[in-house]
Structure 1
Amino acid sequence: MSGISEPPLNDVWNVPGEEHLLAEFEQQDRNHFGSIDATSYYHKLQIQDFLQAVLEDRPPLVTGREGRIVVEMFTAIYQSQQERRPIKFPVPA
């Protein structure tokens, strides 16, 4: 198992009228994340989907372009924190 001890939890955003579901969602997440290695489980699913997409001649659930956008976003977050200024997109290479 990984060093991640708790599942990610978003208790800030919710659907009006469904706040009562938070405790149930928390328990489901604790049960699920307690049975997997979160550092590799979702990566494995993404690789499996990519291979299946090749076999089925379809786009993967997450394209290379979409993945690049996420990398750029996190790069900008770190750069913004280090330089203490907003970073505009696209981030220069």
Structure 2
Amino acid sequence: MKTYRIDGAAVGSKADLFTEIGRAVNGDGGYFGSNFDALADCLRGGFGTPENGKFRFVLTDYKHVKTALGQEDWSTLLTVFTSESVDLWLAA
């Protein structure tokens, strides 16, 4: 199964989160999008992720990301992954 690693230590804002997701999925400087709708599209497959849905994400330093995003955006992030049935593993 394909695993994408999001470097949570590099996330200081919501914009940074989307930059890091773009890097994880499409390589350094990879464009991803800049909102949760773009994330949902990516998680459905075909925007850098496999269309067969056989992939997962690992978010490192997740407590840092949770603080950087704030409770509302953190909850939205988790909801998007859950809604699209994509595993998001939270790593310290």
State the TM-score, normalized to the length of structure 2.
0.22
- Please identify which structure carries the higher helix content: 1
State the TM-score, normalized to the length of structure 1.
0.22
